[in-house]
Structure 1
Amino acid sequence: MKIAILSLCLFITAPFIQEEHLTITHDGKKLMTVNRKEFQDEMLGKPFVNQEKTAQLIGQLEDKINREPVPAKIGQADEIIPGKPGSKVDVRTFTEELHRYLHATGPSSIHVPTLPAHPRVDSELLATIRTKQIGQYVTYFNKNNQERSHNIRLAAEALDSHVVFPGEVFSFNKVVGKRTVEKGYKKAPVIVKGEVSEGIGGGICQLSSTLFNSVDKAGVKIMERYSHSKRVPYVPEGRDATVSWYGPDFTFKNPYNQPILIRSKVYGGQMIVKVYSSDVINIEPNDVPDASKQLPEEMYQ
């Protein structure tokens, strides 16, 4: 999301008469050059800064410079791994410096100023909200189906340690991300309009279904959930949650005044999703039927 751009005032006393370049740098590297004429526009016979061009310039710099922070997470040995700060363009300061260049004459240069971007989830928060388990669900799969098992494990790693803040809506597709070959997902059986076929990321609906039952136990507010067009064997009938990048999503809202933490792990042929929060949370749990431990030779989605 682009940061709001500061309005630049009309150039009544300092019209655009120079074309000398402005060199824009960051971390000792030249990013681009611009000149005053690129920002020139006129309204009612008076020159002014084209704010659309200014916004485009800052957007380009944000694409090049902004770096997302890395949230803290819980490691394999149950240890907390600290997060890492990111960075973002200091739009206010940069706009002021650009403003000075546009009012002046001659060439100039600007080193793009940045601000730290701190992760929403830090070590202290994780330590607080992993103390009380409020939901858990286990499903089972045929671990000999290597492609499907691989996809389930990859998606579970993307979901693990995710925190949903009070009042926030969780989206499975947004958190786990697009399932692509570039991310390591493999072809495995999927159900499309009641028919079984091969698709990239086949198997992850077992994770979304396991998550649904776990958070439903924890009493969250389910916002969006769809069942498969064909019965799936890993959860009781009507307890599944199908997902697709260009189709259905699974979403829920955290109704509590405390953040909730999602842990998702694969152990052999078991998919386990647990939900935690702080000791002070006051939940209203739901009754959810357990999944069957008996598996067919092959399972889909």
Structure 2
Amino acid sequence: MKFVMMSLCLLASQPFIQQDDLSIIDDGEEVQRVNRENFEADFLGKPFVDQDKIQQLIDQLEPEVSQEPVNAKIRDSGEIIPGEIGYKIYREKFLEIFHQYLYGTEAEAMHVPKIAISPKVDVELLANIRTRQIGHYVTYFNSNNKERSHNIRLASKAIDSHVVFPGEVFSFNQVVGKRTKEKGYKDAPVIVKGEVTEGIGGGICQVSSTLFNSVANAGVKVMERYSHSKRVPYVPSGRDATVSWYGPDFTFKNQYNQPILIRSNVYGGQMSITVYSSDVINFDPKDIPDASKKLPEEKNTSTISNR
């Protein structure tokens, strides 16, 4: 409303909007070129600035010039990798500069004003919450099945170093994302003892099931979990958590007063997920039955489904 009133007031002294182009620059490169007349509308027979079109311009620019912050992570060696600052458009400043252009008389260039966004997880936080183990679980798989092993490693990497803050809900599907060939996931069509068939992203459910048992061991509140229709061999009966991008998800809520850290690692045919937090966390651990170390018998098949 403030800019609308300013537009009408300025028009009292400006008979029309000037028509020179404006070059919008970000990081030294032109990302868009606009003209004053593109933002002109008619009001009671006189031109005025269409504020909705300016907002549309900003919305178009946002994905081009913005950058999501990157959280700090922990290497397998234990070294903490610092996060990276992100950026988004400073909308109020953009509007101020853009209106100066609209009511100017010369062609100009403007640099997109941006606001820095700090990563949610930084080095200090990771250092503080990796000190106390509160949950742990290990499952086993046949590392000779290269495609399935590859998928397990990809999904494991996606959840490794993820931090769940107090009161926050973790969604496996949201954190891992859609399992597609473009993201590197492979067909893993196998039958285990004549029962379980898997397809694109085959093996992902072993990761979600290992995570379920690890957070359950930590006493974390499970919100959403579904079992497979048939028994799976990598966890005890009833201890699995099936996931599918267009179907079931596995979610849990951190009900504790401290953030929790997920560490996920794959070594050969062993997948290990450990949950950590700070020294001052007051948690309620649960006893969870161990997974069998016996590897399932497998044979290739052309049948494909998503498990």
Tell whether the structures are fold-level matches, with TM greater than 0.5.
yes
Alignment match, 1:9: 4
- Tell me if the contact between 1:189 and 1:203 (Cα under 8 Å) persists in the aligned partners: no
What letter matches 1:101 in structure 2? Y
| Aligned equivalents of 1:181, 1:167: Cα separation in 2 | 34
Residue deviations 1:200-220 (CA, integer Å, cap 9, x gap):
110010000000111111111
Alignment match, 2:93: 93
Q: CA deviation at 1:198?
A: 4.6
TM-score if structure 1 supplies the norm length? 0.90
1:54 counterpart = 2:50: no
Q: CA deviation at 1:45?
A: 5.6
The SS at the match of 2:266 is strand
- Tell me if the contact between 1:12 and 1:46 (Cα under 8 Å) persists in the aligned partners: no
What letter matches 1:247 in structure 2? G
What letter matches 1:86 in structure 2? G
- Tell me if the contact between 2:180 and 2:200 (Cα under 8 Å) persists in the aligned partners: yes
Residue deviations 1:186-238 (CA, integer Å, cap 9, x gap):
101379xx975452110010000000111111111211111112211111111
Gaps of at least 5 residues in structure 1 are 1-5
| Aligned equivalents of 1:136, 1:130: Cα separation in 2 | 13
| Aligned equivalents of 2:190, 2:55: Cα separation in 1 | 44
Gaps of at least 5 residues in structure 2 are 300-305
- Tell me if the contact between 1:7 and 1:51 (Cα under 8 Å) persists in the aligned partners: no
| Aligned equivalents of 2:244, 2:182: Cα separation in 1 | 17
| Aligned equivalents of 1:275, 1:43: Cα separation in 2 | 61
Over aligned residue pairs, what C-alpha RMSD do you find?
2.2
Alignment match, 1:154: 154
TM-score if structure 2 supplies the norm length? 0.89
- Tell me if the contact between 1:265 and 1:273 (Cα under 8 Å) persists in the aligned partners: yes
Map of 1:96-245 to 2, 5 A cutoff?
Answer: 96-189=96-189, 196-245=196-245
Identity across the alignment (%)? 67
Alignment match, 2:82: 82
The SS at the match of 2:10 is coil
What letter matches 2:234 in structure 1? Y
**Paired residue total:** 294
Task: Decide whether aligned partners of structure 1 residues 54 and 150 sit closer, same or farther in structure 2, where only a CA change above 3 A counts.
Answer: same
Q: Which deviates more, 207-216 or 61-70?
A: 61-70
| Aligned equivalents of 2:263, 2:297: Cα separation in 1 | 28
- Tell me if the contact between 2:18 and 2:103 (Cα under 8 Å) persists in the aligned partners: no
